[in-house]
């Protein structure tokens, strides 16, 4: 299986779907719902998505579909941008493994659709590379980030990535730095206008934003198996980051800048988890996106064939243990 998913054969799609169904079989069958802080005071677009998709299995199926969209984008971006100089489906499979690491979040949650919008924003940032004129794609990226924050409010903080993208890709251009943040409040202004037209509670909207950004969320109770899985993932990520940056001088300039921006994404996710009172373990869904690229690069180009395979086997064991031990402990 490891050899198959390192390539781009059609069979990888079936493997992706199979792994996803296996890791999400428990919520699909038993429908164990848990309420989180973002469910108590949901952001507007997440509220619409949740009410449209419905509770129980329909909501979980919607989440599975969005995860498959993310896994497709992860592979597609490398195919187009080619910053990992080999076509591979490893990023998508690794991301699906990471989605099985937190049992209680295996349901429709706002971080999943927000991740889709942040990935789209990331692509628009990279599109600005080597453009001679003003790169208005930074405004598009900030607009997409603002839309995503209407699902998951803490996505607003990832506007820092947009500013970092301007500096890394384009240098200190004030106009483009302003564009990189100017689009974030636009979706909120539009929603506020809609609330005003339909005589909805604008004060409630502002309160919901404040609660989702600054009110302390519940502490996630990690199981031993979940901690073991996250530890394995962290060691693999750290190994991948070191491996990439030891070889970064030999990369093409665009690939080098992309990996630097991905490192910013990783670090911001970690900082938000430890600093922001409103951020809890759900940030793993966002942190996993840049992480899988570093791990993939290491898996593909490591001279050792054994260590990447051992990491991959560890991902399988940890994911399986997390699913099984929830019934035994």
CB distance 128 to 169 below 8 Å = yes
Q: How many domains does the chain have?
A: 1
Residue-level pLDDT at 149:
97
> 86 CB contacts (<8 Å, ≥6 apart)?
300, 301
What sign does the dihedral 14-15-17-22 (CA atoms) show? positive
CA–CA separation, 163 and 103 (whole Å): 34
CB distance 113 to 151 below 8 Å = yes
CA–CA separation, 39 and 37 (whole Å): 5
Which helix (H) or strand (E) segment holds residue 5: the answer is helix 2-5
Residue-level pLDDT at 329:
60
Residue-level pLDDT at 31:
67
Residue-level pLDDT at 4:
83
Nearest to 126 by CA among 257, 248, 241, 250: 257
| Six token digits for residue 281 | 């373990």
Torsion of CA 21, 22, 26, 31, to 10 degrees: 0
Burial class (CB in 10 A: 0-12, 13-18, 19+), 18: exposed
Torsion of CA 175, 176, 179, 184, to 10 degrees: -140
Residue-level pLDDT at 109:
92
Nearest to 63 by CA among 269, 262, 282, 267: 282
CB distance 142 to 121 below 8 Å = yes
Tell me the pTM.
Answer: 0.95
Q: How many CB atoms lie within 10 A of CB 196?
A: 10
How far separated are the first and last CA of the chain, in Å rounded? 30
Domain boundaries, position 124: 2-325
Residue-level pLDDT at 33:
64
CA–CA separation, 92 and 76 (whole Å): 10
Nearest to 239 by CA among 317, 165, 318, 310: 310
**Could you say which residues of the chain have pLDDT below 70?**
31-33, 329
CA–CA separation, 181 and 187 (whole Å): 12
CA–CA separation, 177 and 87 (whole Å): 33
């Amino acid at each position: 299986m490891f050899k198959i998913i390192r390539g781009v054969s059609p069979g990888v799609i079936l493997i992706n779907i199979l792994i996803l169904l296996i890791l999400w079989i428990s919520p699909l069958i038993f429908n164990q719902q848990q309420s989180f802080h973002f469910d108590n005071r949901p952001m507007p677009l997440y509220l619409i998505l949740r009410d449209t998709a419905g509770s129980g299995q329909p909501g979980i199926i919607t989440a599975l579909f969005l995860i498959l969209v993310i896994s497709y984008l992860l592979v597609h971006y490398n195919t187009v941008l080619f910053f990992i100089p080999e076509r591979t489906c490893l990023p998508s499979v690794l991301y699906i493994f990471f989605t099985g690491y937190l049992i209680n979040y295996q349901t429709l949650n706002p971080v999943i659709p927000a991740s889709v919008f942040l990935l789209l924003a990331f692509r628009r940032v990279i599109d600005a590379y080597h453009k001679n004129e003003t790169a208005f794609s930074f405004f598009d990226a900030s607009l997409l980030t603002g839309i995503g924050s209407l699902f998951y409010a803490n996505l607003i903080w990832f506007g820092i990535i947009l500013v970092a993208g301007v500096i890394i890709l384009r240098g200190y251009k004030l106009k483009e730095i302003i564009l990189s943040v100017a689009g974030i409040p636009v979706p909120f202004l539009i929603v506020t206008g809609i609330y005003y037209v339909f005589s909805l509670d604008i004060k409630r909207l502002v309160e919901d934003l404040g609660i989702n950004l600054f009110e302390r969320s519940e502490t996630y109770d990690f199981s031993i198996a979940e901690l073991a899985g996250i530890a394995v993932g962290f060691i693999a990520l750290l190994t991948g980051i070191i491996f990439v940056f030891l070889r970064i001088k030999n990369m093409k300039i665009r690939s080098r800048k992309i990996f630097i921006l991905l490192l910013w994404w990783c670090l911001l996710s970690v900082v938000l988890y430890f600093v922001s009172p409103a951020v809890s373990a759900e940030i793993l869904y966002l942190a996993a996106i840049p992480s899988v690229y570093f791990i993939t690069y290491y898996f593909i180009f490591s001279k050792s064939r054994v260590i990447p395979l051992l990491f991959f086997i560890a991902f399988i064991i940890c994911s399986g243990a997390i699913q099984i031990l929830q019934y035994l402990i």
